[in-house]
Amino acid sequence: MQRDQPGAQQSDSEATFLSQTLSNRGVKISTFYYSNFQDYEAYQGDRYHTVLNSLLCQNDMNYIEEPLLQYPDWRGHPFLRAEVAKFLSYYCGSPIRLNLRNVVLLNSCCAVFSALAMVLCDPEDAVLVPTPFHSGFLFSAQMYTQVELIPVHVGSEITNTNTQPFELMIGKLEQALLEAKTKNKKVKGLLLANPQNPLGEVNMKESLKEYLKFAKRNELHVIIDETYMLSVFDETIIFHSVLSLESLPDPNRTHVIWGSKDFGITGFRFGILYTHNDDVVSAMTPFGYLHSVSGITQYKLRRLLGDRDWINRVYLPINHSRLQEAYGYVIKRLHELEEQFGFKITFRSIGCGLYIWINLKRLLEPCTFEEELVLHRRFLDHKLILSRGKSYMFKEPGWFRLMFAEHSQRLREAMDRFGQAIEEQKQYWIQKMLEDEVTS
């Protein structure tokens, strides 16, 4: 099982700690980090890299030339930005040829988001975020930017504002914006992810346009994270990049982020911004001073992104078929567990991303975030890492993100343990119910 949160490699028994030497904000950032991520250990297992290694270990990959060892262009070496522009033009299906001058490369998608939030928002400005939303950006916003993320809760239930579960309706955005304005908050942007993480859904083209039009009407920037765009493994699903649209409602306020996840190389530490706004590129540039990528890594990345033949003929087919297989296996095991335990584990996933969003609230008694944490810890006792809903700012307790991008043997072992954890939790749940009856 895997996660996209920072891994805490030390055990701080105290979530909140006082220090005689740290600043208040130092303590605040630390406390947030360790209270949210202290349970995670560095994920050191392998995934599908035997495929990648064959490319990355070629002899001519070990190339060093002088400029790679010197200060880089702070937006990324031009040779790499040119390759990125070509790569995005092709894989995003852009109607125009994308330009290297609109590309900024920093050392992670979160660093891109952090710098972007700095140059688009002033302290205490706000950004709307449909939740659940992946925790990396949420955490990044807390470190440097002082930008408030206003969650727009997208619920699992069908209500009068939601005709479908987890559907982000424009009405919800309008309402959230209105409420924020009533509280005198300056809302500067809307943060989206497509494919969504943790929901594993892609936006319909029409919805995407609606979000962009809503943003334009309200003069909001749209920051759209397309990190998993190449991890749509079900061929019947069509992913529409925002860069594929014939025309953008507000090109100067539309900013796309993409990074290392589609190649499973988070250790490369890179993230890419594509924006048509020259001022934004210009203002992002100084941030390369604090967030740039080593020249030798930039060189390898160019080689990787530039080998389209290898990506199309070797990497993507293998990666997608493995993801499909792992996904199918996990779905099957979840169905078996439902039969075994006699309750429905509602799960969301339509065949993209590396994860399934599952609902285990039937195992919580009472259904609270405290009990969600108990279940999370139970998974950890079984050496399973499942990110819990709370870290995605989701308001309904009991949801978890289950990563399935794993070798079949490890996945079988993981699902066995998952079953054991569920079994234990069920016993715990029965015990709690009995106690409740006794005391009531």
Q: Which residues from 72-131 bind a copy of itself, rule CB under 8 A? A: 72-75, 107-108, 110-111, 114, 118-123, 125
- In the complex with a copy of itself, the residue whose CB is nearer, 162 or 297, is 297
Using CB under 8 A, pick the residue from 172, 240, 253, 376 that binds a copy of itself: 253
Q: Name which of residues 188 to 207 contact a copy of itself (CB under 8 A).
A: 188
* Residue 229 contacts a copy of itself per CB under 8 A: no
Whole-angstrom distance, CA of residue 102 vs CA of residue 275: 5
Of 204-212, 273-281, 352-360, 379-387, the segment contacting a copy of itself by CB under 8 A is 273-281
Q: How many CB atoms lie under 10 A from the CB of residue 6?
A: 16
Nearer residue to a copy of itself within complex by CB, 266 or 420: 266
Closer by beta carbon to a copy of itself, 250 or else 424: 250
**Candidates 5-13, 319-327, 406-414, 430-438 — which segment interacts with a copy of itself by CB under 8 A?**
5-13
- Sole window of 15-23, 202-210, 302-310, 377-385 interacting with a copy of itself (rule: CB under 8 A): 15-23
Give the bridge partners for 388, in sequence order: 400
Query: Is residue 408 at the binding interface for a copy of itself, with CB under 8 A as the rule?
Result: no
227 in contact with a copy of itself (CB under 8 A): no
Report 325-384 residues binding a copy of itself (CB under 8 A): none
Facing residues of 399 across strands? 359
Q: Does 46 bind a copy of itself (CB under 8 A)?
A: yes
Q: Please, what is the minimum distance in Å from the beta carbon of residue 50 to a copy of itself?
A: 9
Q: How far apart are CA 120 and CA 190, in angstroms?
A: 11
Q: Residue 50 carries which DSSP code?
A: H
- Binding residue (CB under 8 A) for a copy of itself from 15, 16, 62, 318: 62
Cα 303 to chain centroid distance, Å, stands at 25
Candidates 2-10, 172-180, 334-342, 391-399; binding stretch for a copy of itself (CB under 8 A): 2-10
Least distance in angstroms from the C-beta of 178 to a copy of itself: 23
- 80 vs 100: CA distance, rounded Å: 9
Question: Can you tell me which of 157, 267, 437, 438 binds a copy of itself, judged by CB under 8 A?
Answer: 267
Separation of first and last alpha carbons in the chain: 39
Describe the strand order of the beta sheet including 355-359 as a list of residue ranges.
Answer: 347-348, 355-359, 399-403, 387-388
Stretch that binds a copy of itself, among 153-161, 276-284, 327-335, 392-400 (CB under 8 A): 276-284
Residue 134 interacting with a copy of itself (CB under 8 A) = no
Q: Between 46 and 423, whose beta carbon lies closer to a copy of itself?
A: 46
**Minimum gap (Å) between residue 234 Cβ and a copy of itself:** 25
Stretch that binds a copy of itself, among 43-51, 175-183, 204-212, 347-355 (CB under 8 A): 43-51
Q: Does 13 bind a copy of itself (CB under 8 A)?
A: no
**Residues 175, 282, 321, 427: which binds a copy of itself (CB under 8 A)?**
282
164 binds a copy of itself (CB under 8 A): no
Which amino acid, residue 192?
L
Residue type, 46: D
Nearest to 302 by CA among 96, 33, 108, 79: 79
413 vs 146: CA distance, rounded Å: 42
Per-residue buried b or exposed e for 29-56, using 16+ beta carbons within 10 Å of the residue's own CB:
bbbebbebbbbbeeeeeebbeebbeebe
Nearer to a copy of itself, 34 or 355 (CB): 34
The candidate with the shortest Cα–Cα distance to 222, out of 250, 245, 195, 185, is 250
* 370 token code pair: 């405290």
Strand bridging mode 347-348 / 271-275: unpaired
**Cα 319 to Cα 342: distance, rounded to the nearest angstrom:** 34
Q: What tokens appear for 357 in the block?
A: 């969003």
User: Closest CB to a copy of itself among 410 and 432?
Assistant: 410
Neighbours of 272 (CB within 10 A): 26
Distance of alpha carbon 311 from the chain centroid? 22
Query: Does residue 184 belong to the site contacting a copy of itself (CB under 8 A)?
Result: no
Distance of closest approach, residue 322 Cβ to a copy of itself, in angstroms: 16
CA-closest candidate to residue 223, choices 138, 101, 161, 97: 138
User: Which residue, 43 or 329, is less far from a copy of itself as judged by CB?
Assistant: 43
Cβ closer to a copy of itself: 120 or 384? 120
Distance, in Å, from the CA atom of 106 to the CA atom of 135, rounded to the nearest integer, reads 19
Q: Point out which span in 58-66, 85-93, 408-416, 430-438 binds a copy of itself (CB under 8 A).
A: 58-66
